[in-house]
Structure 1
């Protein structure tokens, strides 16, 4: 019996600023490889993204984000002939249509209302086999009755709300990390401003996180782990009470967040992952599209928010650690139904796999 060697093509948004879509695609790709070891996995990336040169899978490199390179992406799909194409917050309708025409199962991932609405447009939905929403429903809300009606007319299901996608904390990794950085579980603060490339009028926002880390240590005595992110271009120095780290793998970051007393995070995917882990957080919007998400999470007592300056971050984190708001957050987090969406997404891929190949 000949083993099926399925081809998976991942097309995430990729730029010099953000890293979330690429990281999510990488997490899914690794789980695909674990599930189907004989699968061929390929990425299409912007060559100017800092992670383009370190992607562990073969990557076709473009001069801009794939959405803006319609012909190049379509030409590559014609050459590669994928069985599955995962567009993570990327892709023009013509690109999805081309993948569909080639016989691929097309998955579109959206992370906010505007992208979700785009994915539900009739001409795009017709050529999409599965539309995933990587936000909890309490953040993004339900779709309208009109959208449901239009999707029924073309015999397409409503977008599947799977929530944040991440690798669960690994116990052995946690033991190694705590030993490596001389930490005790529950006795340190982890700070991370996402990719490290976001800026405000004063410069890189991650630098405000780093200044805040020093003040949090002085105020609370807790050691701080400051993760700068792959897109931060400058050098940094070690300061007493703060361990500065350029970059952690996804599983390392999740594992350290899980064992921290609190985490100070940007309003990107990692915040939702921390909420799913029931970890108290102080959150900071480092881009405009994060403000709405943070407002909803704060209104549901799932995080507390601060402005993107060192004083606000340090004061907010200190109050969270030393005040009674920590217990309030912990209680609300225990009741929250936000879970890891990786397993949900993989079940959907397995169903598409069966429909294409007639086996698992």
Structure 2
């Protein structure tokens, strides 16, 4: 632990299904490394997660998600002695307390009302230095007057609404990626069902996206690109007019999303990133916790929703692309104040760094 080489520990929810919390932690970790090149960065992950062995930073692997491994996480913190611990939708109160006792600055990220409420409970809030809400306020709503009063009484700040956190498009990298796949800006459709591991009664939902992509190309003659995701275990489907990609890193996915004409996405973090990028999209809930978010976004005219059947996805996207419908969606997106929260989050970390090390 030195001023020039702070130690950061990232503890995202990690499992065999979702990938959003891990990806968000990676984005913040990469930004930390840019800001403090000598920083030591460490992750704690479930070994059940498909990305556990490909994490670009050292990772301590547990038998289950870190939240359920209280002692193992606490023991590792005692060994590692971090300056900062970032819990992304994870962490028992005792784990946050332990991090605080070790002198670490504790950051907690929540993405749903339930997690946000948990993060504001007095005994947790007392040991949390910064609480980020990674949903736009129009989705999650304001905190109650009672929560505001409780936080004021214990002299803790209200959660900071960062909104979605992602890497901004990189024009140079984007041009190279488009060249690699033979694509042109604004002349292709991108489809992504999140991690690729979510299922319905018929199998993997991303396979419905793949069938929809083939139908969309036949109906529109616009090339489609489908990104299956790291958790999809089967052979990718081949179809005319459809480019199938197993996996992209976050920056590459954002570059393609930014360059696409329209998108078909799950209701996870990528949807909010698309809204921040002002990209018209049709969205599909691939897990129960996405339904409310999609309902709110659709009510505000920021997306069009579909169920997870291939034909409904295809029909919905073709209808969305009709000139009047597309203009309506683009107008609502242009007026939405949802933006990339990465810079705000990094400003908070920098302020905590200065406070911890007495830098002004």
TM-score (structure 1 length as normaliser): 0.99
Deviates more, 1:264-273 or 1:317-326: 317-326
2:334 matched to 1:334? Answer: yes
- In structure 2, the partner of 1:47 is 47
Instruction: Give the secondary-structure state (helix, strand or coil) at the position aligned to 1:324.
Output: helix
2:265 matched to 1:248? Answer: no
Instruction: Give the secondary-structure state (helix, strand or coil) at the position aligned to 2:343.
Output: helix
2:354 matched to 1:357? Answer: no
- In structure 1, the partner of 2:275 is 275
Q: Give the distance between the partners of 2:156 and 2:205, measured in 1 at CA.
A: 42
The list of structure 1 runs, each at least 4 consecutive aligned residues, that deviate by more than 6 angstroms after superposition, is: none
Alignment of 1:87-166 (within 5 A): 87-166=87-166
Query: How far is 1:211 from its partner?
Result: 0.2
Instruction: Give the secondary-structure state (helix, strand or coil) at the position aligned to 2:321.
Output: helix
Q: Give the distance between the partners of 1:43 and 1:197, measured in 2 at CA.
A: 22
Query: How far is 1:159 from its partner?
Result: 0.4
Q: Give the distance between the partners of 1:229 and 1:134, measured in 2 at CA.
A: 22
CA contact (8 A) 2:9 2:42 kept: yes
Q: Give the distance between the partners of 2:236 and 2:149, measured in 1 at CA.
A: 54
Deviations 1:312-358 (A, max 9, x none): 10001111112411100100111100000000000000010011001
CA gap of 1:311–1:237, structure 2 versus 1, over 3 A, is: closer
- In structure 2, the partner of 1:33 is 33
Query: How far is 1:4 from its partner?
Result: 2.6
Q: Where in structure 1 are there 5+ consecutive unaligned residues?
A: none
Instruction: Give the secondary-structure state (helix, strand or coil) at the position aligned to 2:103.
Output: coil
- In structure 2, the partner of 1:299 is 299
Q: Give the distance between the partners of 1:345 and 1:40, measured in 2 at CA.
A: 19
Query: How far is 1:18 from its partner?
Result: 0.2
Query: How far is 1:151 from its partner?
Result: 0.4
Query: How far is 1:93 from its partner?
Result: 0.2
Q: Output the aligned Cα RMSD.
A: 0.8
Q: Give the distance between the partners of 2:120 and 2:55, measured in 1 at CA.
A: 30
Q: Give the distance between the partners of 1:72 and 1:285, measured in 2 at CA.
A: 34
- In structure 2, the partner of 1:174 is 174
- In structure 2, the partner of 1:207 is 207
Q: Give the distance between the partners of 1:164 and 1:231, measured in 2 at CA.
A: 22
Query: How far is 1:176 from its partner?
Result: 0.8
Q: Give the distance between the partners of 2:178 and 2:44, measured in 1 at CA.
A: 35
Q: Give the distance between the partners of 2:300 and 2:325, measured in 1 at CA.
A: 13
CA contact (8 A) 2:210 2:237 kept: no
Q: Give the distance between the partners of 2:304 and 2:359, measured in 1 at CA.
A: 47
Instruction: Give the secondary-structure state (helix, strand or coil) at the position aligned to 1:185.
Output: coil
Deviations 1:59-81 (A, max 9, x none): 00000000000000000000000
Alignment of 1:15-34 (within 5 A): 15-34=15-34
- In structure 2, the partner of 1:79 is 79
- In structure 2, the partner of 1:7 is 7
